[in-house]
Chain A
Amino acid sequence: MVKSEKQRYIYFKILTENNYSLDQNYLLRSIWKSVWRFFGMKEANKIGLWLSELNLEVGYGIIRCSHLTKEIIISALTLIKEINGIKVILSPKKTSGTISSIKQKVK
């Protein structure tokens, strides 16, 4: 029997230089770019990346991915240094199997 794939939600903080506001498209593009740069096609096809929530005003985001690729996504977020010429830190704070527990953390 095929086991169903579990999902993980990763809550991350966004810290930008001079509190500059980012664009959602640029952010997603740079996450994919980082995954490609460090892990290539072999891992990129397993990720199942989905941006569940993004609040650029408060500076946080929630990403959904496969439980097998959780560490890869955390690494990819960690290794992003710049988005569109702005120095940035995407700092993973918490991972969880359910969106509700992650939202409690956000509150």
Chain B
Amino acid sequence: MSYFESRLPLNFDDFNDIQNRLNFCERLGIKNLILESQGKIVPLNLKKKIKIETKINIFYRINLRIDSVDEITFQLKKFDKISDILSIESINKKVQLYAAKDSRVDIISFSDTKILKSLTPGVISLTKQNNSFIEFSLAPIMESNKVLQSKNFRILYRFIHLANKLKANYIISGNFVDIYDFRHPRALISVCHTLLEIPLLSLKKIFIENPKIILEKVRDRNIEKLEDKMKIVKGGIKYGQK
């Protein structure tokens, strides 16, 4: 498998928009794409419809923006049985710590610069223990205003280097909303290498191997769930039934 674009936010109610965005990604040459739905489970028939539409390998994730600990416990129960990647995004440090401890959460997202500033070594350490991942997003660097853009670069530089220093598990995604901000992940690797000073080898790990690890983790979880539901049947009659 090649490079992953780990986050493409979509409005799943508008199929024309989905088609348009996927066509654009195909034109850019993106091979693997993780589509993000904001707090909604994508129906199976829609997934099938999207699969027919495009040649890109499509995967799904659900992102939850949560502000309080009470809400996270409620939401995690609600999304307990999903077969997609689950990510949590919050500015509240308590929620971040809770999510980092919970094995159901695959990604703790720090996509916004405000949220990024709340990243602490404690969250990084907990994600390492639970084999979950931290996510950084490159959307803030596509800012047109030079001053804001350089500030955003500085914030990203600081926290990505903190993550590197603590040997964190992390991924970098695009998370671009405007269609003309979309970029191929290989091009984003060059930006990270030249402007954020991340070595090319670790960038290849971040853009290829780490998303694969997350997808494998989700797949294994789904297989486990399936095995729990299976019952041994002997001669067409449920085992133990007279």
Identify the A interface with B (CB < 8 A). 13, 15, 17, 37-39, 71-72, 74-75, 77-79, 81-82, 87-89, 91-93
Contact = CB atoms under 8 A, between A and B. Distances in A.
Nearest to A73: B190
B35 to A, nearest CB: 20
B184 A91 contact: yes
B213 interface: no
Contacts of A75: 187, 190-191, 193-195
Interface of B: 24, 27-29, 141-142, 144, 146, 180-184, 186-188, 190-191, 193-195, 200
Contacts of B141: 79
A92 B180 contact: no
Given A81-B142, A89-B182, A74 B28 contact: no
Contacts of A92: 184, 186-187, 190
B183 A88 contact: no
6 closest Cβ contacts across the A-B interface? A74-B190, A87-B180, A78-B187, A75-B194, A75-B190, A71-B190
A74 to B, nearest CB: 4
From A15, A75, A77, A87, residue with most partner B Cβ within 10 Å? A75
A13 B190 CA distance: 16
B180 A17 contact: yes
A89 B27 CA distance: 11
Nearest to A74: B190
Nearest to B183: A78
Given A15-B27, A71-B193, A89-B28, A78 B188 contact: yes
B187 A81 contact: no
Contact of A78 (B27, B146, B191, B200): B191
Contacts of A88: 180
24 contacts: A13-B27, A15-B24, A15-B27, A37-B146, A39-B194, A71-B190, A71-B193, A71-B200, A74-B186, A74-B187, A75-B191, A75-B195, A78-B187, A78-B188, A79-B141, A79-B142, A81-B144, A81-B181, A89-B182, A91-B28, A92-B184, A92-B186, A92-B187, A93-B29
Contacts of A79: 141-142, 191
Contacts of A87: 180
Contacts of B183: 78, 89, 91
| Residue among A15, A81, A91, A93 facing the most chain B CB atoms (10 A cut-off) | A91
Interface hub of B142, B186, B200 (most chain A Cβ within 10 A):
B186
Given A89-B180, A92-B184, A72 B27 contact: no
A72 B180 contact: no
A91 B29 CA distance: 9
Contacts of B144: 81-82
Contact of A91 (B146, B187, B193, B200): B187
A15 B27 CA distance: 9
Contact of A71 (B28, B182, B184, B194): B194
Nearest to B146: A37
Contact of A77 (B24, B182, B187): B187
